[in-house]
Structures are given as C-alpha cells and as structure tokens.
Chain A
Amino acid sequence: MRVVIAEDAVLLREGLAGLLERFGHTVVAAVGDAPALVEAVAEHRPEAVVTDVRMPPGFTDEGLRAALELRDRHPDLAVLVLSQYVEQTYAAELLESGAGAGIGYLLKDRIGDVREFVDALDRVAAGGTVVDPEVVRQLLRRRRDPLARLTPREQEVLGLIAEGRSNASIAKELYVSDAAVAKHIANIFTKLDLPPAADGHRRVLAVLAYLRG
C-alpha cells in the first residue's frame, strides 16, 4: 500500500515510516506539516494517509482539518488520524466525512502496539472504520438513549465494532460463537433503528449513532 505520513516530530516520523516499510507498505512521502500533507497527496495520490492532529504552524488541529479537506477532495482516500489525546468531537467530525468508511482515529500511544496499529491501518485502507478504544470507553460511560437500550454485552460488541473488528475477531475477543455475535449485532441494529441495508454500511451507521449519542 502507498502511504503518506504527516507528523511534525522527526523522530516519530522516521520511526513510523520504518514501521510501515517493515510491514511491506511503501511510504511515498513523509512530511512535517498540514500544507505539505495536502501537497504530497496531490502529487503522489496515495491509498492511505497517516496524520498527526497537532502540527505546525498553529499547533492546534491542522492535521485533522487537512484530513477532512483531503477526504472532501478524494473520497476514496483512507485516512488514519493520530491524536495525542482523545477528543470525541474530532472522532465525530472525522466519521461524518464519507459516512465513516475508510476512517480511523487512534491515540498516538497505539503506535507502540505495532502489529495492532498496522492492522488498524489495513482495516481503514479496506474501507473500514476504526475508533480508539479510549473514545469508546468514554462514550459508554456517558451515553444514555438510545444506547441505554443496549444490554452491557451489546454495548461491548458495539464498542468492538467501533474499533473496526470483524465478527470473527469479536467472537474471539469475547469467547463466544460467531452466531452469538451475529445475534448481538442484529439486536443492536434493531435497537438503534438502523434500516436493513448492506451489512458493512449498517455497522458504520451503528458506530455513528454511537458517537452522536
């Protein structure tokens, strides 16, 4: 996969590039700020972008804004946004773009779990949605309706869907059968009033409902 990295800390940028190369991806450009990211994407047309939220010149949320802008221009571009801290507003803004397909939002800490991190990037590149478990944890603590209608087990399953997990992976995580997972998911869709449609799309809608509350 051809990837563009945007990260202002040199050490981390080089490390990320090395990591992705090691797992067989091609880093076509590694840049240090948001305008350079937009340029690099225009020039190299990568399949995926990995970007930091906070970058020069303003050190606020340039990376996130650039990611949203890039999604507007290239709806097929997979975007994985890395943040130093969890912010649900960021996650929600990201997922609104292109209904959450090919979008990821992870804490920077997760890079340390290299294999999971690269998996997450692969899932995003394949059109999936990945939301950091920390975002999910905070949401679960706060949300009431309509999520209050979900049983604790269903909430757990929804949290794993938000992380971009497949049914099989969820079954493995929770030590239950695939059929049990499918039943939980069907219950979630019903309780969240999600219309029958392509399964993948409903998963994303469930995550969105989850984030919006």
Chain B
Amino acid sequence: MEALTRRPLPFLGSAWPWRSAAYLLGSVVPGVAAALTTAAAVRAGLVALPLGVLAGLAVLALSIPLVARFERLRLRLVDGVPVPDTPDRRRREAGLAVMTVLAMWWIDLIMLAFTVIGPLLLILTPVVQPDIVPIVSVVSCVAGVLLLPVAAYTITAWGGARGAMARAMLAPQSSELAEVLRSRARLVDAFEMERRRIERDLHDGAQQRLVSLSMSLGMARLDLPDDTPAGRLVGLAHDEAKQALAELRELIRGVHSQVLTDRGLAAAVHDVAGRSPVPVDVDVELPGRLPAPVEVTAYYVVSEALANVAKHSRATRAAVTGRVERGTLVVEVHDDGGGGADPGKGTGLTGLADRLAVVDGRLSLSSPVGGPTRVRMEIPCP
C-alpha cells in the first residue's frame, strides 16, 4: 500500500502493480475450484436436497486448511512481513477460508476484469470493432492506453486492501502492538530492577566501607595533633573520605530513589524538590501509594523537568502539583522562567514523552518564548 504514495513513474516501474495483479489473479484457483464443485453438484442434482446443502458444507469444511494455506502463501506477494501465530489460529483461518470461497474470489476477479479488461478492450477497439469511425477508434485506443496506469493504481490499492484484510483476519493488529507494548514495559521494568540492584550494591558495599573509613580517620585524628605532618595528612584523607561519601550519596540517589520505594511519590517529589537549586513549591496529594511503574515514571519525569528548570529556564521559582483525578495521575511542573522550550531541540522532552508512553501516559508542554513554562503529564493508574 505504501507503494501508492511513491511518485507515479517509480511506482509504475515497480513490481507492486504486477504483484498485486498476481495476488488478485490467485483468486482464480479457489474460484475455479468452487465453480467446478458447484457445477458438479448441480449436475448430480444434489442442490435441491437438504443432503446437498450438507455435502456442500462438508466440502467447504474440508477445503478450509487448503484454502487457508493458499491464502497465507499468496499473502506474501503483497505483504513482506510474516504473519505471527495467534492462539486462535484455526478459527481465524477458517473465517478467512469461508470468506474467500464464498465471496472474495469473485470480487477479486471482477475488480481485475473491470480494471484490466476495460482498458484493454478500448485499446483493441480497431480490432474488435473494425467497422467503427476511425477517429472514434483512435480516441478510444488512446483512452485505453491512458487508463492502463490508472488500472495499475486501482489494482495495487485493492490488492493492498485485500492483503491487509487477510492479515487482519489471520492476526489482529492489536495483538502485535500489544506484544510490542508489553515487551517495552518489560524492558523498562528490567532496567528499573537493575538500577535498584546497583543502588543496593553500592549502599551495602562502597558506602558502608567509606563511612567506616571516615570514622577510622576521624578517630585517628583525635590522637594526632593537627600541626604534625601525619596529623595534616590524616586530616586531608579524612576530608577526602567525607567528600567521596557526599559524592557517592548523590550518585546513588541518581541511580535509584530509595525514598520513592519506601514512601511513595509525594515524599520523593518533596525530596527531589528540596535538592533543586531553584526554590520549588510542592503540592502533591495522592490517595496512598500508586502502582510502582506509575510512581517510577512520574518521579523520573518530575526529576527531569526540575533539572531542565534549573539548567535552561532561568527561573526564580518553580512549583510541582500532583493529584489523581478520575483514575488518572496528573502532575504539573511550572516555572516562571524564560520559556521557549522546544521538544525538537533535544532538551530531553521527547525522551520524557517516550518514557511516559510506556505506561500509556501523555506529556503536554506549554512554553511560549518569554515564559512561563508548564509541563503536564497524565498517567492512567488503574
């Protein structure tokens, strides 16, 4: 179907019109089979009898696997992506087969006939109707030639639509999309688990050791006068250890917020706001704890939004509000800065929107040049 959006010449030169035509022409096979079977039945005089109807249904049922297989095979002509298996595959194949045998084959053939045979007849006017006025015959000949490219479009369009229909019957699109969404959510969860593990390792390992080290150095300092060389060095080492501890604490907090895990979103937002260089007013009131993915995502977005406020906005004041309204968590971050935040300029706003999309959330941004900036996120929380 995408081939239709190409420029006319590359499109007409491509294989797609031919592939579509071949796809539709494939309907001759079930068509001929159905026609022959029906004809044979009429011949045998079975049609009028209830037994005949039953026999017809039985033949239809028996033909289902064959037809389905044929449909899958020829779908490749117009659809390059393999059709995924679904749990209810048999039911879906049966549906497609019944539809093909009863209706689709003759619709396909009629489409093909009208679009191809029509122009062909026009072109062949001088041959089929030799007694017609020459000028008319030339005009219809030209018209026929001009109609051929149109036929290519019609055939490709129908072939594409027909293929999409077959695909939709074999595997609903939503099932693929849902699987992609689920796998994306799993990926994010895995990342979050990993960050948690790193945080725990740092907390249990390096951080405790550094506290111990700093304590030992502090004790050593008690016994060493500051004005001796050893005392000065120990003092230096002590200060370094304390500095390392402070830096490690910030690092660990960046990796994973323990406050978020322990006390939930409101406390974690207070915490991150307290560390912002721009003063932040926090007004977050939530009915207890929210699902973990919602909390983690909302916290991430608020942290990033506040980091943006500090980095880009030149604001003197910011505010975070958060409520759950009709099953949706709504969080807004405002600032009184210069505005002009542009998602296209790689300020990380697109990253936030992507992150929110994982939990079905939405991000909206209002940031006129001159300010103020307002970032609003909505996350459904069941």
In the complex, A54 Cα to B216 Cα: how many Å? 22
Give Cα distance in the complex from A176 to B211, angstroms: 34
Please, which residues of chain A bring their CB within 8 A of the CB of B172? none
Chain A facing B: main interface SS: helix
Contact of B281 with A142 in the complex, beta carbons under 8 Å: yes
Count B interface residues, CB 8 Å.
40
Q: Is the CB of A138 within 8 A of B222?
A: no
A109 and B246 form a contact (CB under 8 A): yes
Contacts A11-B212, A12-B211, A15-B216 hold; do A112 and B238 have CB atoms under 8 A apart? yes
Q: Does B90 contact A (CB under 8 A)?
A: no
Judging by beta carbons under 8 Å apart, are A60 and B203 in contact?
no
Q: Does B85 contact A (CB under 8 A)?
A: no
- Pairwise interchain contact B219-A19, C-beta atoms closer than 8 A: yes
A112 touches B262 (CB 8 A): no
Kindly state whether residue A126 has any CB partner on chain B within 8 Å: no
The reply to whether the CB of B258 lies closer than 8 angstroms to some CB of chain A is yes
Which B residues from 297 to 353 make CB contacts under 8 A with A? none
Please determine whether A113 and B249 come into contact, CB atoms closer than 8 angstroms. no
Q: Which of B41-49, B114-122, B137-145, B263-271 lies at the interface with chain A? A: B263-271
A88–B271 CB distance below 8 A: yes
How many residue pairs, one in A and one in B, have C-beta atoms under 8 Å apart? 96
B217 interface residue (CB < 8 Å to A): yes
Verify if B69 is at the interface (C-beta below 8 Å from A). no
CB-nearest residue of chain B relative to A59? Answer: B200
**In angstroms, how far is the closest chain A Cβ from the Cβ of B333?**
15
User: Which residue of chain A lies nearest to B213 when distances are taken between CB atoms in the complex?
Assistant: A112
| Binary interface encoding of chain B residues 201-232 relative to chain A, with 1 for a CB under 8 A from any of its CBs, else 0 | 00110011101101111110110000000000
Cβ contact within 8 Å between A19 and B215: yes
Q: How far apart are the CA atoms of A84 and B262 in the complex, in Å?
A: 13
Nearest neighbor of B207 in chain A, beta-carbon distance: A84
**Given A111-B215, A112-B211, A112-B218: A89 and B274 interface contact (C-beta under 8 Å):** no
The residue in chain A whose Cβ has the minimal distance to the Cβ of B239 is A112
**Cross-chain contact A16 with B215 (CB below 8 angstroms):** yes
**Nearest A residue (CB) for B277:** A141
Contact between chains at B219 and A60 (CB < 8 Å): no
Q: Which among B208, B222, B263, B279 is the interface contact of A12 at CB below 8 angstroms? A: B208
Instruction: Tell me if B104 is interfacial: C-beta within 8 Å of chain A.
Output: no
Q: Judge whether A111 and B274 touch: CB under 8 Å.
A: no
Q: Which residues 109-127 of A have a CB within 8 angstroms of B?
A: 109, 111-115
Question: In the complex, given contacts A107-B249, A108-B211, A115-B222, what are 10 additional A-B residue pairs having Cβ atoms less than 8 angstroms apart?
Answer: A9-B204, A18-B219, A54-B203, A54-B258, A87-B263, A89-B270, A109-B245, A115-B218, A141-B279, A142-B274
